[in-house]
Copies of this chain bind each other. A is one copy, B any other.
Amino acid sequence: MIRPRTPPGVMELLPREQIAFQRMLDVIRRNYERFGFLPVETPVFELSDVLLTKSGGETERQVYFVQSTGALANAAADGEKGDGGSTATLPELALRFDLTVPLARYVAEHEHELSFPFRRYQMQRVYRGERAQRGRFREFYQCDIDVIGKDALNIRYDAEVMAVIHAVFSELGIGAFKVQLNNRKLMRGFFEAQGVTDPQKQALVLREVDKIDKRGADYVRETLAGPDFGLPVAAVERILAFVEVRSASHEDALDQIGQVLAQAGDQASETLRAGAGELREVLELVKALGVPESAYCLNFSIARGLDYYTGTVYETQLVDHPGIGSICSGGRYEDLASHYTKSKLPGVGISIGLTRLFWQLREAGLVEGIAESSVQAMVALMDEAQLPEALDIARHLRAGGINTEVQMEARKVGKQFQYASRAGIRFVVLAGDDELARGVVAVKDLVREQQFEVARSELAGTLRVELEQTRALAGR
């Protein structure tokens, strides 16, 4: 006998948890589609040489390689020959560790069959050989959108992507949130003006600034003015003031951008001006797209992957739970697929790490983690002789769009109610001899704790109305 268990680092859910998770996936997909994004799915494994184009230190160590039994036996045989070949040759296949590299491969491979700008969404699991740790997952869902341009991509898409973030998290209903907006060009222009011109050094400065909450402002000041960085004290102060900028409203955001430009004055570089211009245009269009100003702000401390993003960058925070960190991040990049094609393919995109988000929301008590069942009605069975009637009632419910389970064996009615209640099924439908004779059924609504009778022919319609009312009241 083998003990049934999953590998460490995966999230496996019980059915009602899975329903809650699936509802989040459905909301995300619905909103991605609402904005005109097209679905793409890629294989879970890619050819290793395609996946690992960069001699990736960090990334490569976390990759899962895949070998069929045959390939494994061959590799073992090579190893035994003692020619050391087995260490030199990587297995042919590896599991994707994100959805961006597969997207790059997909767009480059199908370039001539796609229309640009290409809006795509992809919601699949990715794999990373992380060290096993609470809240770290080796298998997790990413829900991504990207817009890819050919040669160029208008900054307007950066605003559209923000509107998608707003739509998704509004419908998910997990509390107030704010998209934090920044622009790498503005940031770079600003740092250059402070004498920090090397992007690597900018990254190191930002890393120090990031420690401000933990180590205090004085520590950061001393470090940046100290021998490692050697920045003038005035520049350090300007940097600290810059990264603390958060806008309080739409107007304030435009003001803050104006202040950065004003501070630079005639010294403002092309890069700084370009960044400021992009930020302003994004803000303007985000407003035109109907995103309320409470849902976005500037945050000049946000940088994201410094060697990847080149313009707009986003993070999204739950207003009342900043500790959860960013729940949706992304930005603008110059060139998606330079490893695979000479075409220049700039893009903008975001990613929601849903497995981790679901786990965090549950930990924080922000979602129940257990949903009302996808089964909406249960037809009870009290008497074996009534089975054909029960099946017929179920058939009409299903035809009327109600997800329906039938009790296939007669049991005590109390047991059946108990089962429905524990399973999260809202309506229990009963049809005893008396009801059958009168052409009606009795319905018990376990949510409203009400019981009512309805003509058998009107059952599905009645339940549909009830369910729609509940949805409307919940604002879904």
Q: Residues on A close to B: CB < 8 A? A: 1-7, 10, 12-16, 18-19, 22, 33-36, 38-47, 49-50, 53, 60-73, 75-77, 79-80, 82, 84, 86-87, 90-93, 95, 104-106, 108-110, 113-115, 117, 119-120, 125, 127, 129, 139, 154, 156-157, 160, 167, 285, 288-290, 337, 339-342, 373-375, 378, 387-388, 391-392, 394-395, 398, 401-406, 408-409, 419, 422-423
> With A115-B423, A139-B44 in contact, do A39 and B374 touch (Cβ < 8 Å)?
yes
A63 pairs with B73, CB closer than 8 A: no
**Once bound together, how far apart are the Cα atoms of A12 and B75, in whole Å?**
28
Query: What are 26 A-B interface contacts by the 8 Å CB criterion?
Result: A1-B342, A3-B50, A3-B340, A4-B106, A5-B47, A5-B109, A7-B92, A15-B114, A18-B41, A19-B38, A34-B403, A38-B374, A44-B125, A61-B70, A63-B68, A64-B66, A65-B66, A67-B91, A68-B129, A80-B84, A86-B86, A115-B423, A154-B408, A289-B394, A289-B395, A290-B391
> With A4-B105, A53-B2, A374-B38 in contact, do A64 and B68 touch (Cβ < 8 Å)?
yes
What residues on B are CB-neighbors of A64 within 8 Å? 45, 66-68, 93
6 nearest A-B pairs in the assembled complex, by CB-CB distance: A79-B79, A36-B405, A68-B129, A15-B38, A4-B340, A4-B109
**Once bound together, how far apart are the Cα atoms of A41 and B341, in whole Å?**
36
Q: State how many angstroms separate the Cβ of A252 from the closest Cβ of chain B.
A: 21
**Once bound together, how far apart are the Cα atoms of A42 and B11, in whole Å?**
8
B36 pairs with A13, CB closer than 8 A: no
**Once bound together, how far apart are the Cα atoms of A307 and B15, in whole Å?**
30
A285 pairs with B391, CB closer than 8 A: yes
What residues on B are CB-neighbors of A387 within 8 Å? 156, 285, 288
B106 pairs with A12, CB closer than 8 A: yes
Q: State how many angstroms separate the Cβ of A120 from the closest Cβ of chain B.
A: 7
A339 pairs with B15, CB closer than 8 A: no
Q: State how many angstroms separate the Cβ of A224 from the closest Cβ of chain B.
A: 36
B160 pairs with A406, CB closer than 8 A: yes
Nearest opposing residue in chain B for A397, CB measure = B34
**Once bound together, how far apart are the Cα atoms of A2 and B339, in whole Å?**
6
Q: State how many angstroms separate the Cβ of A274 from the closest Cβ of chain B.
A: 19
What residues on B are CB-neighbors of A90 within 8 Å? 72
What residues on B are CB-neighbors of A340 within 8 Å? 1-4
Given contacts A18-B41, A115-B422, 4 further A-B contacts (CB under 8 A): A2-B339, A34-B404, A64-B67, A117-B408
**Once bound together, how far apart are the Cα atoms of A39 and B17, in whole Å?**
9
**Once bound together, how far apart are the Cα atoms of A157 and B422, in whole Å?**
21
> With A69-B63, A115-B422 in contact, do A15 and B39 touch (Cβ < 8 Å)?
yes
Nearest opposing residue in chain B for A389, CB measure = B288
B15 pairs with A40, CB closer than 8 A: yes
